[in-house]
Structure 1
Amino acid sequence: MDNVRSIGTEFYGDYNDGGYDKILFPCLKSLELVRMQNLVERMDAMEPTTTGMVFPCLKNLSISTCEQLESAPCHFPSLEEFDISQTKSTTFEKISSKLTTLTSLHISGISELASLPEQLLKNNSSLMYLNIWFCDDLVSLSPHGDVWGFYTSLRSLQISNCKKLSYLPDGLHTLRSLENFEVRNCPNLRSFPSIKGVALLLRTLAISCSDEVLPIGLQSCISLSSLEIDECPNLISIPNLQDLHSLSFLTITSCKRLMGLPDGLDYLTRLKSLTIGGFCEELDSFPSLSSIQPASLETLELYGWAKLNSLPADIQRFTALTQLWIRNFDQMEALPEWLGKFSSVRYLYLRECKNLMYLPTAEAMQHLIYLHIFFLPQINGKMWKGKRRRVAQNCPYSKYLSPLKTD
């Protein structure tokens, strides 16, 4: 509703009718305000001196893309899930000032938000899920260090794409129920807090920071099923991972000083998905994958860099692969014919390989059911003439290739 500038007291009806103790919206459980571009104020129903109740059963509140909103009510006595995005920080602080019953909080794209309000952190002792995305001005979680009331309740903490985030308190390792801890694409985070106190509980861990070493406690995370180490530009080594026996998903990408893979990968017998690459550009070849257990691996995603002109040959060991991703092998001109040995591979993804011109023959590719091609500038209409054109006609995924268009 682009023309709405104010939601006044008429929204609540004649709340004085029947006395100040009237209950307004007694059954409403969910309320959303979405894409109201010019909404400036949403008035409260009552003055603070009244004794009536508003939204006694409201559990879910969502406010999205209301960028001009400056004032809003804060009387939500039973609110459990609060999702707010693309709104001013003052509005967020106003609404959250009296919340005490939250179990889930999702914050995204809040401008001028340097830290979360202290009262919000202290008063919500039942908070289980906290997600913070695309808050460009966020510097720290709390304005005064470890000030929060959800030590025993928080299960999941996700922080992503917060460009100014520079500090995470060490007290995070005291969160007794934390199972999911993810920090992604926060380039100014100086160091990652210790996870020693929650190591045995963690199931999912994603690390992004500018430190040279990984946090204390990583080797003790024996219950981890997913580990992601991404966008760590100063990281020089990764500790031995042999004790992470439950690991099913492993990502090590965009670590520009890393010269190789960690030790202990041969002990990861449950590993199903591996995403690796984007290492030191001084390397002339991709690090050996010979230590990876071949029997369990189903998905392999390789990130190359400017110098690489070929795929690592030991990929051929992974006979159980069903999905193969190949990215950023800028000097590679042709895919090897031995890809045809992967009769198990059904999905092949080729992305951003600037000089890739040739695919294997039809015989080597006929087991595929899906081929994804994105930003391969050297592949154009000319390569589908003659034999190469017949490849497309004979393959079961020909509808994706004919006619081929380059992004």
Structure 2
Amino acid sequence: MYNLTSLRELEIVKCPKLLSFSHDNLPLTLKGLVVKNCDNLKCLLDEDGMNISRRSLLSHLIIERCHSLASLSSAGDLPVKLQHQKIWSCPKLAYLSSSGYLPVGLKHLWTDTCQMLESIADSVHNKTCLESIFIARCEKIQYLPDGLDKLSHLQQLHIECFRNLVSVSRLPSTGLRVLHLSWCRKLQALPNGLHCLTYLQELQISNCPCLLTFPEEGFPTNLTSLTISKPEILEGLIHWGFHKLTSLKRLAIYGGYSDGVMFPHEGNGMMLPCSVRKLAISDFPNVETLSSKGFQNLPFLECLSIVKLPKLKCLPGRDLLMSLLELYIHDCPLLKESCRRD
């Protein structure tokens, strides 16, 4: 296969006897490699493949469900031109390579291997170019390693299913645009200096039951997309002032206050930003009415999603929804009956 110089992409699936690749397996011109469900794959590049790293054009690497994989390179580093890397469901993988460093040019990393996170922090000194990190199911980690705030190129950070994560360290303030924190069952506080992330546009905080406090300094005011699923965060946001998010275009609220019968709640001064174009509300068990005054303040609303509001009886007046282009209603039995009648 080394002589197949026109080959650009290679996908290998369910080859149970495959143990590793060597220098005569992969053409240097290969740009994309996908390996899935190869149960006995132990090392991606063996000692014969160590010279590949400097000359290979490989830029995309995906390895999924290779349960015996222990190393990506037994002698030397990964290909230096590697930009996109996804390592998923490879429970025995402890090291990326013999040096332990990420490729200098790596821009996008998806993984559920906790050792990767330590490698990311170590690679900061290697001037990494990481732009996005999606890391999940690192159950042993309680605190993110120091050094992540020095990832000056980082634009997206997704942290999901960290069962024992207690807190998140300081994050890079110069370029981070997307931050997702979800299914972190023991997370007690949002990152320090969250309000200083002046480039942050998309923030999602969902299914973090121990997160009970809203940061005193508030959220970055330049957010364009916000998803929250904690009543305490919602109440704190209301007290801080929804109206300060003057650039917000997409708002999703899952799991609202349990005692409110109206949304938005006029009594506590909850005014949604007039810039909102897409609004999703879900899991408000006692809401019976959508406030006409609240929707009067949404002249650009184009998409409205209403899910699991069992007591909601009717929509706001038609004249308040003139800009609406999409309407999605699910699991709202009383509203369903109302829609059938009229």
Q: TM-score range by the shorter chain?
A: 0.7 to 0.9
**Offset of 1:300 from its aligned partner?**
0.9
* SS in structure 2 at match of 1:183: strand
- Among 165, 178, 185, the residue aligned to 1:211: 165
Match of 2:201 in 1: 248
Matches within 5 A, 1:325-344: 325-341=280-296, 342-344=298-300
The 1:116/1:337 distance shift into structure 2, 3 A limit, reads farther
How far apart in 1 are the matches of 2:35 and 2:234? 46
Letter in 1 for 2:79: N
How far apart in 2 are the matches of 1:62 and 1:193? 34
Match of 2:26 in 1: 76
- Among 293, 297, 315, the residue aligned to 1:359: 315
How far apart in 1 are the matches of 2:233 and 2:196? 31
Please say if residues 152 and 174 of structure 2, whose CA atoms lie closer than 8 Å, have aligned partners that are also in contact.
Answer: yes
Letter in 1 for 2:247: S
Letter in 2 for 1:61: L
The 1:157/1:296 distance shift into structure 2, 3 A limit, reads same
- The question of 1:384 aligning with 2:339 is answered yes
- The question of 1:178 aligning with 2:126 is answered no
How far apart in 1 are the matches of 2:311 and 2:212? 24
* SS in structure 1 at match of 2:236: coil
Letter in 2 for 1:119: S
The 1:361/1:129 distance shift into structure 2, 3 A limit, reads same
The 1:182/1:329 distance shift into structure 2, 3 A limit, reads farther
**Offset of 1:234 from its aligned partner?**
0.9
Letter in 2 for 1:171: S
Please say if residues 306 and 330 of structure 2, whose CA atoms lie closer than 8 Å, have aligned partners that are also in contact.
Answer: yes
- Among 192, 210, 215, the residue aligned to 1:262: 215
Please say if residues 347 and 368 of structure 1, whose CA atoms lie closer than 8 Å, have aligned partners that are also in contact.
Answer: yes
Please say if residues 328 and 352 of structure 1, whose CA atoms lie closer than 8 Å, have aligned partners that are also in contact.
Answer: yes
**Offset of 1:154 from its aligned partner?**
1.6
> Which structure has the bigger radius of gyration?
1
Q: 5+ residue gaps in structure 1?
A: 1-44, 46-52, 390-407
The 1:69/1:140 distance shift into structure 2, 3 A limit, reads closer
The 1:84/1:332 distance shift into structure 2, 3 A limit, reads farther
Matches within 5 A, 1:313-332: 313=265, 316-332=271-287
Cα deviation digits, residues 260-283 of structure 1 (max 9, x gap): 3324336x342211111236xxx5
The 1:115/1:320 distance shift into structure 2, 3 A limit, reads farther
* SS in structure 2 at match of 1:229: strand
Please say if residues 125 and 153 of structure 1, whose CA atoms lie closer than 8 Å, have aligned partners that are also in contact.
Answer: yes
Match of 1:39 in 2: none
Letter in 1 for 2:120: L
Cα deviation digits, residues 8-34 of structure 1 (max 9, x gap): xxxxxxxxxxxxxxxxxxxxxxxxxxx
Matches within 5 A, 1:102-251: 102-108=58-64, 110-113=65-68, 115-119=70-74, 122-133=77-88, 135=89, 137-138=90-91, 141-142=94-95, 147-148=100-101, 150=103, 152-159=104-111, 162=112, 165-173=113-121, 174-175=123-124, 176-186=127-137, 188-191=139-142, 192-196=144-148, 198-208=150-160, 209=162, 210-215=164-169, 217-218=170-171, 220-238=172-190, 239-251=192-204
How far apart in 1 are the matches of 2:96 and 2:195? 38
How far apart in 2 are the matches of 1:72 and 1:355? 58
TM-score for both structures, normalised by structure 2: 0.78
Please say if residues 233 and 254 of structure 1, whose CA atoms lie closer than 8 Å, have aligned partners that are also in contact.
Answer: yes
The 1:248/1:349 distance shift into structure 2, 3 A limit, reads same
The 1:330/1:221 distance shift into structure 2, 3 A limit, reads same
- Among 252, 258, 261, the residue aligned to 1:301: 252
**Offset of 1:347 from its aligned partner?**
0.5
Which has the bigger relative contact order, CA under 8 A and spacing at least 6? Answer: 2
**Offset of 1:328 from its aligned partner?**
2.2
Cα deviation digits, residues 245-266 of structure 1 (max 9, x gap): 1111112222111113324336
Letter in 2 for 1:257: C
Worse-superposed segment, 200-209 or 247-256: 200-209
What is the number of equivalent residue pairs in this alignment? Answer: 317
TM-score for both structures, normalised by structure 1: 0.67
Match of 1:54 in 2: 3
Letter in 1 for 2:85: L
**Offset of 1:126 from its aligned partner?**
2.5
Please say if residues 173 and 198 of structure 2, whose CA atoms lie closer than 8 Å, have aligned partners that are also in contact.
Answer: no
Please say if residues 156 and 179 of structure 1, whose CA atoms lie closer than 8 Å, have aligned partners that are also in contact.
Answer: yes
**Offset of 1:331 from its aligned partner?**
3.2
Of all paired residues, the percent bearing the same amino acid is: 17
- Among 298, 321, 331, the residue aligned to 1:375: 331
Q: 5+ residue gaps in structure 2?
A: none
